[in-house]
Copies of this chain bind each other. A is one copy, B any other.
Amino acid sequence: MAEKDENVVFIGGKPFMNYVTGVVMQFTTKGAKEVVIKARGKFISRAVDVAEVATKRFLKEFGVTVKDIKINSEEFENKEGKKVNVSTIDIVLAKK
C-alpha cells in the first residue's frame, strides 16, 4: 500500500461527523478514488465507526467499499520517557 498522494483522514477527538463528512467529501467533491482512515490507540474504534457510517450511510451509491484494513503497532516515548506501544489501524476505502 504505497502512501503516495492518497487522501488520509486521521481520526482524533473532534466531533464524529467531522470525520465522516471529511471522508465523504473526498469522494464526492474532490473526486478521490481512495481514502485512508488512520487512527491510533483508543481512536481505533472510532475509525471503524467512521468507515462504517461513511460507506453504508453516505457512499453506497458511489460504489465505495472497504478495500483493505491493516493493523500495526508503533513504539513511542510517553511523558515519563518510558517506551510504550500503541496499536494503529489503516482502513482503505476505495471506489470500485
Contact = CB atoms under 8 A, between A and B. Distances in A.
Interface of A: 41-45, 48-49, 51-53, 56, 66, 69-73, 85, 87, 89, 91
A41 B47 CA distance: 11
Given A66-B71, A69-B69, A71-B66, A89 B52 contact: no
A69 B47 CA distance: 14
13 contacts: A41-B45, A44-B44, A44-B48, A45-B45, A45-B87, A48-B71, A48-B87, A52-B85, A52-B87, A56-B73, A69-B69, A69-B70, A71-B91
Contacts of A41: 45
A49 B53 CA distance: 23
